[in-house]
Each structure stands twice: as C-alpha cells, then as structure tokens.
C-alpha cells in the first residue's frame, strides 16, 4: 500500500468523464481526492471548447439506452446500479433522442462539476500536471488528448510508444435555420410516439452530387507525424466513408430505410438526420457527420443538403489525434502500470472508446483504488457483465499486436453458442443482470 499525501488520499489527474467518475466513486467511499484539470489554466486540448468538467467534445449521445438487447444500454444499467455520477448527471441533462440517451452538453457538464464540488473531500484544482507522480496513489484519466509533457512522461515510464488514431467531430446546426417545409420529424420506422430526428431527404441526383463533393472536397492537411495514424471505425469521417464506395453512406449514416417522407409517402434515396443537442431544442447535430473537411468547404457542401440551404452552424466539424496505451501489455488486471503500480489509468487513454465506456473504466478504477486504499482484495466484475467484458478486453483478452480502441459490444462477452442467434442479445443481457447482482452484494 502506498502512503497518501498529507492533504489527500489519492490524486486523480484529468477531469473528463473517467476522471470525474473515478473521483466520485472514491469520495463517496470517504477518501480525500485531489482532482487536477488542465482546462481553466488558460490551456485546452485541440478538441475542447470550454473549461467545465466532463465536457462532451464529439456527439451529445451516450448511444442506446436499451438494456434488453444492446450492449451499451446494458452498460448504462450496470453503471446506474453502481450509483454512477455520469449516469445521474445524464438523467438530469437528458434531451429527446428516441431510444438513445442524449444530453444537453452544457447542463451535463455543469451537473457533474456541481455534484463533485459539493463533496467536502474533493478538491478540484485547475493545474497542468507535466509528469507522473513518483509516489502516492494516482489515477491518470487525461483522455486521448493528453498534453505533450505528460504524454512524454508516460512514454518514458512505459518504455513503449503510445498507439494513436484520429477522431472527428460532427457539426451542429441552429434549429431555426433548418427549412421544415422540406424536412420532417420522424424516428426510423416511427417506433413509439416519438419523432425525435429531423430528416433531410435526397433524391439520387442530389445524393450523387453530394457524394462527389465529399470525395473531392478540400480536407485538413496531415502533419508529417500524423500520416500513418489510423482512424477508429466507430467515429469515421463522413468523407472517408464516402471514399469506400458510392453507396457506403446509403447503408450507413444516410440510410433512408424506415423513413417515409410524408410529402411523397416513400423513402427518399438517401437522408441526412439531425438529432437534438440541447434541452432548449435550439441546437441539432448532424448524425454520423464527423468530418475533417475544411470549415469553408463544410459550409458550402452541407448547404447543398435539402433543407439546410440556409443553415447556420453553431459548430463545424473538426479533427483531432487521439492517443492510447497498449493496455494488454502495459497494465495489470487492476489497470495499474506494471512498471509503476502506484499509478492507475482510466478512460479512453486505456483504449476503450466512447463516453459511456470511458466513464465505466473510470468507475472501475475508482472502485479498485478504493479497495486498495482500504486494504481489501479487489474482486473484478464477472466477465459476463458489460463492465467485466470491457475490463477484460483492456487488460488482457485483446491481442496486444493488433490492439485498437473498442466500444462495448457482445463480441467481448463469453459466447452463448447454445442459444439461438435471434435470442442471444436478450440472453446476454439477462445473464449479465443475474451475474452482477451477487458481485454488487459482495462489494457492499
């Protein structure tokens, strides 16, 4: 056991979703937490725009909230069972998104920060940390855009180069600049009574012209050190998808299936969907439209989309380079750095991908550190649960040579070959819910 500082029991570096969740889990168990966040010192990462804790820099969606047939929905369920700060703040900041969980990003960030600031044993310090602490319990949750000095310190401690990939950000449109005489409100297949998406229809000619514009549009230039960095498939820029084939988008983010245009009674040839981004309903993001097109090119091209001819953008798309550890090699089963076990890592820097996954790994890191500080043996969640499957992937189940960022998915779960394929999703979630109950009871 490592000796805590006189002023705190553990130091959490990074105030994003993972760091905030880790600090919450530690503090609610009675430990004193110093939470360091660089933003607020006059410095920000290339992707952040504000100084609030747990800022959402890409989409405002936590994806599906269906805990019966969806792996990320199951992860939501498990985190709620663990009294997650991130899930509680999401409930307060929720905006309509059909079966998905989406939030007003400003309300969400403010709620996370307010709840942490209200805890007397959490000290939020606006400071840049340039090196891994040489001693004392530490959780590093600096995310995929770790500042250069600290990234260098991590590299020296691991003795290995970090892997890297590109992540792209989707544009946001002001609602009152969308032409609703052209667009219409609907969810795919009109499930339930909600019509949570704005749909912009395209005919074949419009689609082909738009596709050509994406492929031929002027993109952000790569720096020399970025040229061999791969994209993460879950956040692929729209123009990179377009380059894979003329119909790729029509089977992806521009899929028209199940969306009847009320003016024609038919599905359009392609469709662009927008999802509400804030509680007021004034901002809507372009679903699946992450992009590295230059800003002027984005405005020109996106205004060729029917219904968006007069669109004004609250934010245009962007591109940033993400870094992550080769965790199966560098971390032990409790997320500790093998060469410096007083340091744990959490969040996207470990190679998980997605808001919820990042927060879940922060939650687990906080629980692990709490057990260690209390002198208790840590028991990992069963691999049959969403949290257990994600943790197992990060800390050893994945192939180190091909390790890449991963969203939670049923492919990470122990298989149920004996269950019919159509029933497996429900079987995975039912098994997970059965198996997590005794684990939570044992945690007390």
Cβ pair 37, 140 in contact under 8 A: no
Q: What's the confidence (pLDDT) of residue 2?
A: 57
More confident: 228 or 361:
361
Q: Is 16 annotated as a binding residue?
A: yes
Reduce the DSSP state of residue 359 to 3 states and report it.
helix
Q: What is the mean pLDDT of the chain?
A: 91
Q: What's the confidence (pLDDT) of residue 224?
A: 57
Q: Is 362 annotated as a binding residue?
A: no
Q: What is d(CA 188, CA 195) in angstroms, rounded to the nearest whole number?
A: 9
| Residue where the block lists tokens 């991130």 | 86
The length of the chain is: 444
Q: What's the confidence (pLDDT) of residue 190?
A: 75
Residues of the chain with pLDDT > 70: what percent? 93
Angle at 112 between CA 107 and CA 116, to 5 degrees: 145
Q: What is d(CA 142, CA 347) in angstroms, rounded to the nearest whole number?
A: 8
**Segment 123-182, tens digit of pLDDT:** 999 999 999 999 999 999 998 878 888 988 998 998 876 667 776 788 999 999 999 999
Which of 33-37, 275-279, 367-371, 374-378 has the lowest average pLDDT? 275-279
Most confident of 58-62, 185-189, 254-258: 254-258
What region, left, alpha or beta, does residue 257 occupy, with left being phi > 0 and alpha being psi -120 to 50 degrees?
Answer: beta
Q: Is 19 annotated as a binding residue?
A: yes
Q: Is 93 annotated as a binding residue?
A: no
- Cα 92 → chain centroid: 18
Q: What's the confidence (pLDDT) of residue 280?
A: 81
Containing 271, the helix (H) or strand (E) segment is strand 270-276
Q: What's the confidence (pLDDT) of residue 230?
A: 72
Q: What is d(CA 110, CA 51) in angstroms, rounded to the nearest whole number?
A: 10
More confident: 47 or 427:
427
Question: Mind listing the domains of the chain with CATH numbers?
Answer: 10-162+325-443 (3.50.50.60), 168-321 (2.40.30.260)
**Segment 52-78, tens digit of pLDDT:** 999 998 789 999 999 999 999 999 999
Cβ pair 256, 187 in contact under 8 A: no
Give the residues across from 352 on adjacent strands.
Answer: 406
Asked whether the predicted pLDDT for residue 362 surpasses 90, the reply is yes
Q: What's the confidence (pLDDT) of residue 194?
A: 65
Helix and strand tally (H, E) in the chain? 12, 17
Q: What is d(CA 296, CA 303) in angstroms, rounded to the nearest whole number?
A: 11
The two beta strands, 61-64 and 100-103, are antiparallel
Q: Is 14 annotated as a binding residue?
A: yes
Tell if the pTM clears 0.85, that is, is over it.
no
Which of 42-56, 131-145, 286-300 has the lowest average pLDDT? 42-56
Q: What's the confidence (pLDDT) of residue 130?
A: 94
């Amino acid at each position: 056991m490592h000796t805590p500082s006189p002023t705190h029991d553990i130091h959490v570096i990074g105030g994003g979703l993972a760091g905030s969740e880790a600090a919450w889990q530690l503090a609610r168990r009675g430990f004193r937490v110093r939470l360091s966040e660089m933003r607020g010192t006059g410095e920000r990462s290339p992707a952040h725009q504000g100084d609030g804790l747990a800022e959402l820099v890409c989409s405002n969606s936590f994806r599906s909230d269906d805990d019966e047939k969806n792996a990320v929905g199951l992860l939501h369920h498990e985190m709620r069972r663990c009294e997650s700060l991130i899930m509680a703040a999401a409930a307060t900041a929720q905006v309509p998104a059909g079966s998905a969980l989406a939030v007003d990003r400003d309300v969400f960030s403010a709620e996370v920060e307010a709840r942490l600031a209200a805890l007397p044993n959490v000290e939020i310090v606006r400071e840049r940390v340039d090196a891994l602490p040489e001693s004392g319990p530490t959780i590093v949750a600096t995310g995929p855009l770790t500042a250069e000095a600290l990234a260098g310190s991590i590299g020296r401690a691991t003795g290995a180069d970090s892997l890297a990939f590109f992540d792209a950000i989707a544009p946001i449109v002001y609602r009152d600049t969308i032409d609703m005489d052209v667009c219409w409100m609907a969810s795919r297949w009109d499930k339930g009574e909600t019509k949570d998406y704005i749909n912009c229809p395209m005919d074949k000619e419009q689609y082909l012209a738009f596709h050509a514009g994406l492929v031929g549009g002027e993109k952000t230039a790569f720096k020399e050190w970025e040229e061999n960095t791969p994209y993460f498939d879950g956040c692929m820029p729209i123009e990179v998808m377009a380059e894979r084939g003329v119909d790729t988008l029509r089977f992806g983010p521009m899929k028209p299936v199940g969306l009847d245009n009320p003016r024609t009674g038919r599905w359009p040839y392609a469709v662009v969907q927008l999802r509400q981004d804030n509680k007021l309903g004034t901002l809507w993001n372009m679903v699946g439209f992450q992009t590295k097109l230059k800003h002027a090119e984005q405005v020109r091209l996106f205004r060729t989309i029917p219904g968006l001819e007069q669109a004004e953008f609250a934010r245009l798309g962007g591109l940033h380079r993400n870094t992550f550890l080769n965790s199966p090699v560098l971390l032990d089963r409790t997320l500790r750095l093998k060469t410096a076990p007083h340091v744990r890592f959490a969040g996207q820097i470990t190679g998980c991908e997605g808001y919820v996954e990042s927060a879940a790994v922060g939650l687990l890191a906080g629980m692990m550190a709490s057990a260690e500080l209390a002198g208790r043996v840590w028991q990992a969640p069963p691999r049959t649960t969403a949290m257990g499957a994600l943790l197992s992937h990060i800390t050893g189940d994945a192939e180190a040579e091909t390790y890449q960022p991963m969203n939670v998915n049923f492919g990470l779960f122990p298989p149920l070959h004996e269950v019919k394929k159509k029933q497996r999703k429900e079987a995975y979630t039912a098994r997970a819910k059965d198996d997590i109950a005794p684990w939570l009871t044992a945690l007390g």
